[in-house]
Amino acid sequence: MKPMLTWIGGATAALVLVFSGASLAGAMMDDGSDAKAEAIEDAIPVDAAAVDAADGTQPEMVSEEVVQPIPAAAPKEEPFVVKRILDIPGPIKYGEWYWDDEGVPDGPLVMTVDLDARVISVFKGGYEIGAAAAMLGTKEYPTPIGTFPILRKQRHNVSEKYDNAPMPWSMFLTRDGVAIHGGRPVENGYASHGCIAIPDELASRIFAIAKPGDKVIITRGKTLEMGQKII
């Protein structure tokens, strides 16, 4: 005879006695004594909490509201929003240029050109770091309007169309040769064949930090103020 003890749900137990292929339940007493069999509850320890749960009684649960503060989101950096405009006294005159990048954090470069004001502005991460009067195209050879990425740069360049005119620090905006460049004094009464000619001192500084893909936005009569988006 081999007893097998099986637990069910932690609270109910059954005792099964296996006799040579036959199963008997209960207790057998061969000596005819009236001794009572030990109660099953006394033989097997019972988990009272489990019994209560089996009877449908749920233990009392106490909960408290937990409020977890949510940290404020960090302000989103806007590299193409105007954060600073250079303090320039009065309108920029032909031949004048300004540059101030001291303390300006790293950021994407973008330039704007206003054909009416005939001014180029250079922004780095939203901070204006450079500005100058520009020599632009004519009605016959207009400077195009739109947003242009810098396609390529050429430090030493001459115009193949116009008598090998010097165009140092060229930053090309179109495939037909329109570029921002230096090469000659920016004076009243002169124009380009569609290019944006600026003083050599400014052209060299822009050339040093500009890279292909940087945007140049050419408009007519549009100005920017603090907090406005450049692009």
Residues taking part in catalysis: 181, 195
- Strand (E) positions, the chain? 2-8, 12-19, 22-24, 97-99, 109-114, 119-124, 127-133, 146-149, 152-154, 170-172, 179-181, 196-197, 215-219
CB atoms within 10 A of CB 147: 13
Chain centre to alpha carbon of residue 1? 75
> CB neighbours of 52 closer than 8 A, spacing ≥ 6?
59
Q: Which residues, at least 6 apart from 143, have a Cβ–Cβ distance to it below 8 Å? A: 113, 115, 136, 137, 178, 192, 194, 195, 196, 218
Which residue blocks in 3-102 are alpha helix, DSSP H?
A: 40-43, 48-54
**CB atoms closer than 10 angstroms to residue 190:** 12
Strand partners, 24: 17
3-state secondary structure of 123: strand
Confirm if 17 and 24 have CB atoms less than 8 A apart.
yes
Q: Residue 97 forms beta bridges with which residues?
A: 132
